[in-house]
Amino acid sequence: MKMNCREIRQLLEPFADGELDLVRHMQLEEHLAGCTTCAGQLTNLQSLRSTIAAPSLYHVAPSALRERMTQSPALLAPKTEPRSAVRSPRSTAMMVASLLVVAGASFSTGILASRSGASADDQLIANVVTDHVRSIQVDHLMDVASTDRHTVKPWFQGKLDFAPQVPDLSEQDFVLSGGRLDVLADHVVAALVYHRRLHVINVLVRPSSEPDSREERILLRQGFHLRNWVQAGMSYWAVSDLNDEELDEFVTQFRRAVGPEKS
């Protein structure tokens, strides 16, 4: 059954919003391909939509609020757990334990045990989060802004003593937006920037001597989700405010794209 222009117009918005069922979606596509008037309407609608979806119109939560939300004693658990709890094997404190044990046990184990105060790994994790936050707030998201990995990858050459892989994940709807240099625990690292919708995903890359078999780490700090894994001699930190499922999806796609080969 063919739809006329009037009927098409009624469905343009759900079409643009990706809410139509497949059959009607295809009917509209077919109609739009042959009808310049309706196609023009769609163009106008889309330009309105992209005007509204400007990142500058998004109100990001003030850091003071974020801090209050993680520190208010009335609202939240004590921020500093006693150190003795770190290595206690109580399985009841599962959530807490998983965070702290991971923090305490991994990375370069030898150095950690002897250090007093905050562990080097805790420090590292905090740095990863800070890098991410700073990259968003100070508008230093990218040194090289490009959606083309063939631009981003060579940009790192000569600036680093390693060549980071820069996978193209646009088909998976994670859009590469650029790269920059960052400093993590006194080492210069490559930071790759991806976007999904308005969410930024920072991927920090640096060489690592750890084996690929090391288990992926999943952390949550200050409301940001973190993933850390080792692949082909590189340690990767992915940080984002994306939800868990989508960040996992990102990591899966990223790892698949990087592959096992050492570059």
Binding region for other proteins (CB under 8 A): 9-10, 12-14, 17, 19, 41-42, 44-45, 47-49, 51-54, 56-62, 64-66, 68-70, 75-78, 92-96, 99, 197-198, 220, 222-225, 241-244
Q: Which is nearer to other proteins, 68 or 115 (CB)?
A: 68
Q: Is the torsion defined by CA of 50, 52, 54, 59 positive or negative? A: negative
Helix (H) or strand (E) holding 226: strand 224-231
Q: Which is nearer to other proteins, 56 or 116 (CB)?
A: 56
Considering the complex, what minimum distance in angstroms separates the CB of residue 89 from other proteins? 16
Cβ-contact 38, 5 below 8 angstroms: yes
Counted residue by residue, the chain has a size of 263
Considering the complex, what minimum distance in angstroms separates the CB of residue 77 from other proteins? 4
Q: List the one residue out of 160, 177, 172 whose CA is nearest residue 263.
A: 160
Considering the complex, what minimum distance in angstroms separates the CB of residue 197 from other proteins? 5
Q: Which is nearer to other proteins, 98 or 252 (CB)?
A: 98
Quickly list DSSP for 66-85.
Answer: HHHHHH-TTTS--SS--GGG
Neighbouring C-beta atoms of residue 227, cutoff 10 Å: 22
Considering the complex, what minimum distance in angstroms separates the CB of residue 109 from other proteins? 25
CA distance 57 to 189: 31
Q: Which is nearer to other proteins, 59 or 262 (CB)?
A: 59
Cα 130 versus chain centre, distance = 14
CA distance 113 to 108: 10
Q: Which is nearer to other proteins, 94 or 158 (CB)?
A: 94
- In single-letter form, the type of residue at position 187 comes to H
Considering the complex, what minimum distance in angstroms separates the CB of residue 43 from other proteins? 8
Task: Report helix, strand or coil for 116.
Answer: coil
Considering the complex, what minimum distance in angstroms separates the CB of residue 84 from other proteins? 15
Q: Which is nearer to other proteins, 183 or 220 (CB)?
A: 220
- Half-sphere exposure for 261 (CA within 13 Å, toward CB): 6
Considering the complex, what minimum distance in angstroms separates the CB of residue 127 from other proteins? 19
Residue reference for tokens 């009624």? 10
- Put residue 176 in one of left, alpha, beta given phi > 0 → left and psi -120 to 50 → alpha: beta
